[in-house]
Every structure is written in structure tokens, then in C-alpha cells.
């Protein structure tokens, strides 16, 4: 039995906006009954490009129904540009969180939204076609890459939890590992758009990765070094090492580190030096 939040159970028992919009301006269909989850999203867009109505039909578990319901509530009243910024994590957050093994339901919602907006804009499915990686669950390379980038995924098991890819016969495992390895080289895997809201875990990973890959090598060139001590909310505590220890200009170094972390992780971060 999955541990669902009260909000998930509420949206499962009383799903909002179920149904069809006969004269929809955009329709997005993702998944298939054969794969166990399917979602069709309908959007009605007004003259100003604002989504004035959204409805859905879904076939799936409690979290698929709740995620679809949450998605429609999130997009109603938003412009197309605003809706495009909604991520699967936003859907999960709206519901107070989802078990990791059920995150694929939020990803399905996000994919349906992108498909409905593409349909509204008159983009054909063919023009958006991406190679199929997982035949068991009909998951494309683009869907897997998006889930990895937007959620900072690092393992094949996580990719399966977020997209279902790899959860069947297993013949796509090698392809998924290849995609993970390739994206890891495109430093950094968990780099997210600046305006993206990060979970604490994502923030910590990204801070750590930015320090390791970008800040430490620069300090080491001059005989210095850095140690990440802790991250509490938006406070990043670091300790300077090597020639940086006790340097009278260390506040300038700290400001430079803060600038880099603001650029790569979040504008809200504040870096503090911990003298040990
Ligand atoms: S092809 Fe991906 S699990 Fe079977």
C-alpha cells in the first residue's frame, strides 16, 4: 500500500475537471492502456492565449488520477508561456509530494501538457518525434532526457520511477545507461533553469556539484581549496582551505563563490564562511 498525502487522496476520490472538451484548442495524449497508464488532456485557450478550461480522461492508479486532476487545476487561468514552465515536480508539490516510485504519474501529466500545447500550436507529432527507447512503455529518448535534466536523476532505477522506461523486459536498460552517461558529461546533469524551484535534495546536489566541478578547480590553481560544510535552506556554509585559510581577502573569495552558486543554483543563496 502506497503512502499518499491527504491531497493525493482528495484528488483521487474527487478528481477535478474530468471529461472531454469537444471543441478543444489543444489535445495531448500520452501513455497507452497497454502500458497501464494513459492520459488525454484537453485545453481551451482564449484570444489572449490564456488557458480558460482544461479537462482530462485518464486510465491509471490513484496517483495518475490525482496528478491529472492537479495538472488541470494548475494550468487553468495560466497563459501558454506560463503553463510551459510547469514541471512534473510542480505537480508533485501541488499534491504535497508523491512516492518516488509514482513520480512517473507527474511526468505523464507534464508530457500530456507539452503534447496539448504542441497540438494547440499546430505542431505535428511527427515534427516532435524522438527515437523510442523503451518499447514496453512507449517512452522516447526526449522524454527520458527531460526527466533526467529536470529532476536531477542519476540512476537507471530513478529513470524507471519517473518515466516507467526500463520497468518491463529490461532490453532498454543499456540505452538508458548510455543516456545517463552522456548527460552526466554535459555538466552538470542537474542544472536547471534559473527560475526553477528546487527541492532541498536537488539544491544540495547542485551546490555540491558546482563546488566540485567549477569552484574547487579554480581555487586549487592558486593553492587554495574549499570544503562544503552544510546547506541549510538558502544558507551555504563553506570552509576555505590551503592558502585561502585566514587570507585577509577571503571575504572577496566568498563573494565570488556566492556569485557562482547564485548563477548555477539559485539567486536566493547566501554563502557563509565557517572558520574551523
Ligand atoms: S523495452 Fe524498456 S523495459 Fe522493455
pLDDT tens per residue across span 29-73: 988 666 667 899 999 999 999 999 999 999 888 899 999 999 999
Quickly list H helices, the chain.
Answer: 6-13, 62-75, 80-84, 88-94, 103-120, 141-151, 156-163, 173-185, 200-210, 216-221, 250-264
Q: Cα(68)–Cα(58) distance, rounded to whole angstroms?
A: 7
> Span 6-22, mean pLDDT?
95
Q: Cα(105)–Cα(274) distance, rounded to whole angstroms?
A: 42
* Closest residue by CA, ligand 1 atom 4: 169
> Span 226-253, mean pLDDT?
83
Q: 222: cis peptide before it, omega within 30°?
A: no
User: Which atom of ligand 1 lies nearest, measured to the CA of 166?
Assistant: 3
Half-sphere exposure at residue 267, Cβ-oriented, CA atoms within 13 angstroms? 5
The answer to whether the CB of 188 falls within 8 A of the CB of 215 is: no
Compute, in angstroms, the gap from residue 133 CA to the centroid of ligand 1. 8
The answer to whether the CB of 225 falls within 8 A of the CB of 216 is: yes
The answer to whether the CB of 60 falls within 8 A of the CB of 105 is: yes
> What pLDDT is stored for residue 33 in this prediction?
62
Compute, in angstroms, the gap from residue 102 CA to the centroid of ligand 1. 18
CB neighbour burial string for 74-87, b if at least 16 within 10 angstroms, e if fewer: bbbebebeebeebb
CB-based contacts of 256, cutoff 8 Å, min separation 6: none
Compute, in angstroms, the gap from residue 6 CA to the centroid of ligand 1. 33
Q: Dump pLDDT digits (tens) for 131-185.
A: 889 988 888 898 999 899 888 899 999 999 999 999 889 999 999 999 999 998 7
User: Which atom of ligand 1 lies nearest, measured to the CA of 167?
Assistant: 3
Calculate the dihedral angle through the C-alpha atoms of 198, 201, 207, 211, rounding to the nearest 10 degrees. -150
Contact residues of ligand 1, CB 6 A cut-off? 134-136, 165-172
Residue 189 predicted with pLDDT over 50: no
Q: Phi/psi of residue 47, each to 5°?
A: -60, -30
Pairing of strands 51-59, 132-134: unpaired
> Span 181-204, mean pLDDT?
68
* Whether 247 is catalytic: no
Residue 196 predicted with pLDDT over 60: no
> What pLDDT is stored for residue 161 in this prediction?
92
Residue 191 predicted with pLDDT over 50: no
Q: Tell the residue number behind the cell numbers 517512452, with chain if given.
A: 139
Q: Phi/psi of residue 54, each to 5°?
A: -150, 135
> What pLDDT is stored for residue 39 in this prediction?
93
- 217 exposure class (CB count in 10 Å sphere: 0-12, 13-18, 19+): exposed
Q: Cα(163)–Cα(188) distance, rounded to whole angstroms?
A: 21
Indicate the length of the chain as a whole number: 276
User: Which atom of ligand 1 lies nearest, measured to the CA of 169?
Assistant: 4
* Whether 244 is catalytic: no
Take residue 215 and report the three cell numbers written for it.
569552484
Amino acid at each position: 500500500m502506497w503512502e499518499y498525502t491527504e491531497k493525493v487522496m482528495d484528488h483521487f476520490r474527487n478528481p477535478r475537471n474530468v471529461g472531454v472538451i469537444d471543441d478543444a484548442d489543444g489535445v495531448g495524449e500520452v501513455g497507452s492502456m497497454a502500458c497501464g497508464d494513459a492520459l488525454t488532456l484537453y485545453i481551451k485557450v482564449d484570444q489572449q492565449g490564456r488557458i480558460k478550461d482544461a479537462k482530462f480522461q485518464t486510465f491509471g492508479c490513484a496517483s495518475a488520477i490525482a496528478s491529472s486532476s492537479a495538472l488541470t487545476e494548475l494550468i487553468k487561468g495560466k497563459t501558454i508561456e506560463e503553463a510551459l514552465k510547469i514541471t512534473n515536480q510542480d505537480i508533485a508539490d501541488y499534491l504535497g509530494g508523491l512516492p518516488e516510485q509514482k513520480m512517473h504519474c507527474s511526468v505523464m501529466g507534464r508530457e500530456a501538457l507539452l503534447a496539448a500545447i504542441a497540438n494547440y500550436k499546430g505542431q505535428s507529432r511527427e515534427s516532435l518525434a524522438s527515437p523510442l527507447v523503451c518499447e514496453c512503455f512507449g517512452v522516447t529518448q526526449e522524454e527520458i532526457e527531460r526527466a533526467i535534466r529536470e529532476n536531477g536523476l542519476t540512476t537507471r532505477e530513478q529513470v524507471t520511477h519517473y518515466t516507467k522506461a526500463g520497468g518491463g523486459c529490461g532490453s532498454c536498460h543499456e540505452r538508458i545507461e548510455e543516456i545517463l552517461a552522456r548527460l552526466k558529461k554535459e555538466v552538470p546533469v542537474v542544472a536547471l533553469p534559473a527560475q526553477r524551484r528546487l527541492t532541498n535534495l536537488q539544491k544540495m546536489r547542485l551546490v555540491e556539484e558546482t563546488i566540485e566541478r567549477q569552484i574547487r578547480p579554480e581555487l586549487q590553481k592558486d593553492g587554495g581549496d574549499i570544503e562544503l560544510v552544510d546547506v541549510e535552506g538558502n544558507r551555504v556554509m563553506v570552509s576555505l582551505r590551503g592558502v585561502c585559510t585566514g587570507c585577509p581577502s577571503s571575504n572577496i573569495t566568498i563573494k565570488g563563490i556566492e556569485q557562482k552558486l547564485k548563477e548555477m543554483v539559485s539567486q536566493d543563496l547566501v554563502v557563509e564562511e565557517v572558520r574551523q
